[in-house]
Structure 1
């Protein structure tokens, strides 16, 4: 019985010693929201063994040039000129056995960006406008506005349809019209920290617009053929018959006849 108690006490002591030496990481600040700059810091207390290095991670990806082989339990990361794109979950990682880490949330208004700032469509077709978001946290709601209107577009019925996820929002416009649908559209993403927006300009073309290049080529071919025909016509001389010269023929010279008769007489005399 005493032996069992001694073993139990020993295991309790070992467990208690192990628990008392478990590493603890103290972070500062605990959370940062909508700031322009800050310094994130971590400090490990009671490391179970030697620290062989440290580095920082943002949203699961190692931050370049932050890894070192120092054994110092205190580490920091300076963030300057923060904008919505810099929001995320920053994690300090200690290379010990087992590996230890702790995270700090940096929250910013959503980073909203139009997929394309200029879109075009043909009359009677469906228009598609897209905005995406990055940063942390992602938008919890999306809205669309047209030409600076204060009332958002109703995307649940009628001409417009809106489909949104935290990462993306898409505005569908049925039966495009040149007069009614051409203009500027704004997508607005909002989270608990704030909101941001971006603009898309939509151009609507006539359905005949696609024929204009073909008609232009046809016109160029016609003009080119006409110019070549006129040039060839003017290059050939006119064939005009002269009545005064129609019955004329060159006169033979009498000198040649006299010379021939003279040669004949000379041969006869010989």
Structure 2
């Protein structure tokens, strides 16, 4: 059954002339693929070199005067674009997509978008606009769903735990007692992930001590009791395989606290070492001089 255009991915065929996203109402109805899902290999990616999904995606888009019609209306141009976030509704914020290959209108008057090895960054909300000559025929929004995948920021450690591709180790963080600490765990996903934080397996409440804003948690005035294991949990929910499912990805951080006087210990070691060396040198020098005196005393006196 042909569904209204609610897709998971969209790409661009160049529109003849100025590639502007129209703000006027189209003449007909946009129809196309049902929602699709990207299957990431594991729970981490970078924006510069995004991880590649395990599956390829093929989309189609067409125009019908009536949804119940068995044939598509004739078209000769298409523009694919993408919104900055899945929740964006302002048409003017959508940007044309050109990095993927798309087909020209087929004999049945549909256009296809075939994406091999899609990157994780391809997830999101897309838009299809169709024309026949100067007639604006149809439009529709397209969705590409994906479970949360954490973004490995610059100077950030993220290691996939063996056997658990969506459980990550964020490494250790050390801070001085009384200072502040910030932990972050930004993730890609559609729908946009919801975040929660845990300390030693217990939920953390947003208060003066722990300031939580989605994927960022700031800890103020850390003390020894804050030495712990912290976990960021990102979740989202969408329909897959005909049923609604919730997907979870986690990253764990280990926080260590240094005493304010921790800097004194290396200094004390240096001072003690210097004192011991001085004592040894003085003792050696004393023994050398004593040995010289004893040697002189034992030497026989020369006869006149």
| TM-score, length-scaled by structure 2 | 0.51
Is 1:78 the counterpart of 2:96? The answer is no
Structural mapping, 1:216-235, within 5 Å = 216-233=269-286
2:264 corresponding residue in structure 1: 211
C-alpha distance in 2 between matches for 1:199 and 1:235: 61
1:112 Cα offset (Å): 3.7
In structure 2, distance between residues paired with 1:56 and 1:25: 18
The structure with the greater share of residues assigned to strand is: 2
Higher gyration radius (CA):
1
Distance of 2:118 and 2:273 partners within structure 1: 57
Give the structure with the larger helix fraction.
Answer: 1
1:155 counterpart residue number:
206
Asked if the contact 2:197/2:232 (under 8 Å) is kept, the reply is: yes
Shift in CA distance, 55/106, structure 1 to aligned 2, threshold 3 Å: closer
Per the alignment, residue 177 of structure 1 pairs with 223
The unaligned stretches of length 5 or more in structure 2 are 1-25, 40-53, 63-73, 85-94, 158-169, 239-245
Provide the C-alpha distance between the structure 2 equivalents of 1:235 and 1:91, rounded to a whole number of angstroms: 92
1:129-208 superposed matches below 5 A = 129-139=183-193, 141-149=194-202, 152-156=203-207, 159-164=209-214, 168-172=215-219, 174-178=220-224, 180-193=225-238, 194=246, 195-208=248-261
Offset, 1:38: 4.9
Task: Please say if 1:37 is aligned against 2:55.
Answer: yes
- Gaps in structure 1 of 5+ consecutive residues: 1-21, 250-270
Q: Deviations over 1:77-105 (max 9, x none)?
A: 2355987x6522356799x999x997631
Once residues 298 and 76 of structure 2 are traced to their aligned partners in structure 1, the CA distance between those partners, rounded to angstroms, is 125
Whether the aligned pair in 2 keeps the contact of 1:57 and 1:93 (CA below 8 Å) is no
- CA deviations on 1:176-233 (whole Å, 9 max, x unpaired) are 332x221111122333433432211111222221222222332333344444445555
Alignment correspondent of 1:89: 125
Q: Who is 1:255 aligned against?
A: none
Higher relative contact order (CA 8 A, sep 6+): 2
SS of match in other structure, 2:293: coil
Q: What CA RMSD, in Å, does the superposition of the two structures yield over aligned residues?
A: 4.4
Q: TM-score, normalised by structure 1?
A: 0.56
- CA 1:215–1:92: 2 relative to 1, 3 Å: farther
Residues 204 and 61 (structure 1), Cα distance of their counterparts in 2 relative to 1, 3 Å cut: farther
User: Structure 1 89/108 Cα, relative in aligned 2: closer, same or farther at 3 Å?
Assistant: same
Q: Does structure 1 retain, via aligned residues, the 8 Å contact 2:146–2:191?
A: yes
**1:248 aligned partner:** 303
Q: How many residues align?
A: 210
**Paired residues of 1:125 and 1:175 also in contact (CA < 8 A):** yes
Deviation at residue 62 of structure 1 after TM alignment: 5.3
2:82 touches 2:124 (CA, 8 Å); kept in 1?
A: no
